[in-house]
Amino acid sequence: MAARDRVSAVAPDGLSPGAPTPGISREVAFDTDRSTLVRSYAEGGAATGWHHHGDREVHGYVVRGRARFEFGPGGSESTDVEEGGFFHVPVGLIHRDVNPLDQRQELVLSVVGDGPLVVNVDGPAPA
């Protein structure tokens, strides 16, 4: 039976290391041509740099803690997602991910589409 004809599984401790950001660690469960499934941990107060995901969109779930996504002109807008909540980051949206709490955050992210996972930028257009 070919791999495409089977359901794959990864144990909680069987993920591969992903690209880290200071204060943020990532573990990859699956990485295919069109999607990547990641578990991410962010220390309290950690934030990514400004970026977008090119032609990919992100769907996510907050396992533990709270998540904030900053975006919009000059980074003036934000969306907070509570523990147990889900979120969607549209294709091409310049944003940064922030852990607004002092406690460790855990997210599960599904990045879907073609092209690079992350495109780093200086920031959103000024307000």
Annotate 86-123 with b (16+ C-beta within 10 A) or e (fewer).
Answer: ebebeeebbbbbbbebeeebbbebbbbeeeebeeeeee
Asked if 126 and 73 count as a contact pair (C-beta separation under 8 A), the reply is yes
pLDDT in 10s for each residue of the chain, 127 residues: 676 799 999 999 999 999 989 999 999 999 999 999 999 999 999 999 999 999 999 999 999 999 999 999 999 999 999 999 999 999 999 999 999 999 999 999 999 999 999 999 999 999 8
CATH class of the domain defined by 17-120: mainly beta
Q: Where are the domains of the chain?
A: 17-120
